[in-house]
Chain A
Amino acid sequence: MTIGLAHLLTLAAMLFGIGMYGALSRKNAVHVMMSLELMANAVNINLVALSRFLTPDALTGQFFSVFSMVVSAAEIGLGLALVLAIYRRRRTVELDAIDELRG
């Protein structure tokens, strides 16, 4: 069996779904961020797979995924800084405990 575009897109969709489920259901801010990273990697697989199978001559998808990796690394760094700052004040990073503000 050769691995085709459909397999890779399915893998990406499954990873994206798992990440989305984690991001919406986890109570710990760090776990939520790990789930977000999973989603980001699913998107990268999607980009590279689409580029490899549909436009093999241009490396657009690969470039796109490199940019998206850099951006999500910067975002996660910032997010962890926010979590640390909250931990110093509150001694917890559980999102349920962070409920001083209510919509």
Chain B
Amino acid sequence: MADVWRLIPEFLVLGGALVALFAERARSDSRVSAGIAAAFAAAAAVAAAVIGPGGDLFGGQLSLDHIAVFARVAIGALATAWLLWVWGRGVTGERCAEAAALALFSVAGGMLMASARDLIVLYVSLELSTIPAYVLMGYRRDDARGLEGALKYFLLSMLTSLVMLYGLSFVFGISGSTSYGQISLGAAGPLGQVAFVLVLVGLFAKLSAAPFHYWTPDAYAGAQAGAVAYVSTVPKIAGVVALVRLVGAMAPNVAGASGVLVVAAVFSMVLGNLAAFPQSDVRRMMAYSGVAHTGYILLATGAGTAGGPAAVFYAVAYAVPSMAVMMLAEEEGPALDDLGGLASRRPAVAWASLAWLLSLVGIPPVVGFFGKLYLFTSAVRAGFIWPVLVAVAMSVVSAGYYFRLIRSAFLGQRKGAPVVERRTSAATAFVLITVIVLALGVLASPVLAFLGMRF
């Protein structure tokens, strides 16, 4: 048990969740819980960075390789940004303490999932990171729309995770072990292929990849944008890491494995980007654009182990600005036209949002461009020329709807816009996100080298 200290970030997050839950006993304002939770999340991110890579833990059930370290730090930092923002803005109509605690529980699940190398650990941590997300989606008890969205999300998510579990049981049966190192599906022939596809169903639904994305727009449009900011980003990073690892363990001997991933990738990119175009609700637009971004990521996972670092990097490059856009949608209102006149009302936020949206389109010098560059490079190396051409074309299409947001913010007008209070902690969250977007763009190639990408 000498390895236990390497799990200090997870312990910090779990302890922080309990402290946050009861913090309002000391202070009557429940927003303070989110502040405390943010401090714990930040400490966890720093601890994860300091502990660094550490090889296999607990007989190979967890593996703290470079990708796991990067994912833990990214999850911690993003959760910090979200909790800081909640500290400043609160949760409309409800108390903050439970939201902060739930988010931290989900962070603990995400951090464990990012280092899982065992099917049992993977399943338990996957559920630990998604179960709090259902509650966050239906957080307001008096809002029937939010509850409906949460129920739909819950039913579809549980259905697909049971399908995945059924697949995992066959993977265990074929390999005789739940450890990733001993999984070999090749000898089983068609049964191996069936198990592979069943497992992918669950992961695709969690990452909202086509054809299992139907729940996303409804669930996001029903929930508060502030909750979606968390649910659509942090668990997704962990999910991508889990997908990369699991595909790396299962795919090598399964015939047609990368074909399945590439077909799903192309469907997600085309469907997500075209469906995002006509939307007038920012939450719906971001839901469909999330489907499209998952498509780009699947393209790199189809490239096998070589595409893993680029996929994980892009997951972070997508999650960071998309969280900020959803926070902005919560502050200004969810309709596209609600952003009108943002540049004259809140110039600093408007210019920061320009950086976020350019990153989502993939324009240099921000992180999204480098993420896409390395993603497409690793896909081309694997021989996926046509899918990459589709992806590039779809990125151009995506510029269309992201620029509608920019146009609304800089050229649009809005009467009766809400007066958004100045809050230092919410502003800090935006600053943190913008700094990550700009700094990861500059540091893209050293970070990818750290993750193990071969240039």
Per-residue interface assignment for chain B, residues 161 to 205, with 1 indicating a CB less than 8 Å from any chain A CB and 0 otherwise: 011011011101100111000000000000000000000000000
For residues 67 through 89 of chain A, which have their beta carbon under 8 Å from a beta carbon of chain B? 67-68, 71-72, 74-75, 78-79, 82-83, 85-86, 89
B447 surroundings in chain A (CB, below 8 A): none
B217 smallest CB distance to A (angstroms): 6
Q: Select from chain A the residue with minimum beta-carbon distance to B218.
A: A101
Q: Of the 9-residue stretches B86-94, B143-151, B372-380, which lies at the interface with chain A?
A: B143-151
Interface size on B, residues (CB 8 A): 40
A39 smallest CB distance to B (angstroms): 5
For residues 71 through 129 of chain B, which have their beta carbon under 8 Å from a beta carbon of chain A? 119-120, 123-124, 127
Q: Are A43 and B162 in contact, with the CB atoms below 8 A?
A: yes
For residues 333 through 386 of chain B, which have their beta carbon under 8 Å from a beta carbon of chain A? none
Q: Are B158 and A75 in contact, with the CB atoms below 8 A?
A: yes
A23-B159, A85-B141, A101-B218 known; A71+B124 contact, CB < 8 A? yes
Q: Are B214 and A46 in contact, with the CB atoms below 8 A?
A: no
Interface size on A, residues (CB 8 A): 42
Q: Are A39 and B166 in contact, with the CB atoms below 8 A?
A: yes
A61 surroundings in chain B (CB, below 8 A): 169, 172
Which residue of B134, B151, B158, B172 contacts A64 across the interface (Cβ within 8 Å)?
A: B172
Q: Are A50 and B169 in contact, with the CB atoms below 8 A?
A: yes
B288 smallest CB distance to A (angstroms): 10
B178 surroundings in chain A (CB, below 8 A): 60, 64
B132 smallest CB distance to A (angstroms): 9
A78-B131, A101-B152 known; A54+B147 contact, CB < 8 A? no
Roughly how many angstroms separate A61 CA and B120 CA in the complex, as a whole number? 9
Which residue of A23, A39, A43, A86 contacts B151 across the interface (Cβ within 8 Å)?
A: A86
Q: Are A103 and B218 in contact, with the CB atoms below 8 A?
A: yes
Q: Is A27 part of the binding interface, using a Cβ–Cβ cutoff of 8 Å?
A: no
A residues in contact (CB < 8 Å) with B? 16, 19-20, 23, 29, 32-33, 36, 39-40, 42-43, 46-47, 50-51, 54-55, 58, 60-61, 63-64, 67-68, 71-72, 74-75, 78-79, 82-83, 85-86, 89-90, 98, 100-103
Ranked 7 nearest A-B pairs via Cβ: A50-B173, A101-B218, A46-B169, A89-B144, A39-B162, A71-B127, A47-B169
B residues in contact (CB < 8 Å) with A? 119-120, 123-124, 127, 131, 134-135, 138, 141-142, 144-145, 147-152, 154-155, 158-159, 162-163, 165-166, 168-170, 172-173, 176-178, 214, 217-218, 221-222
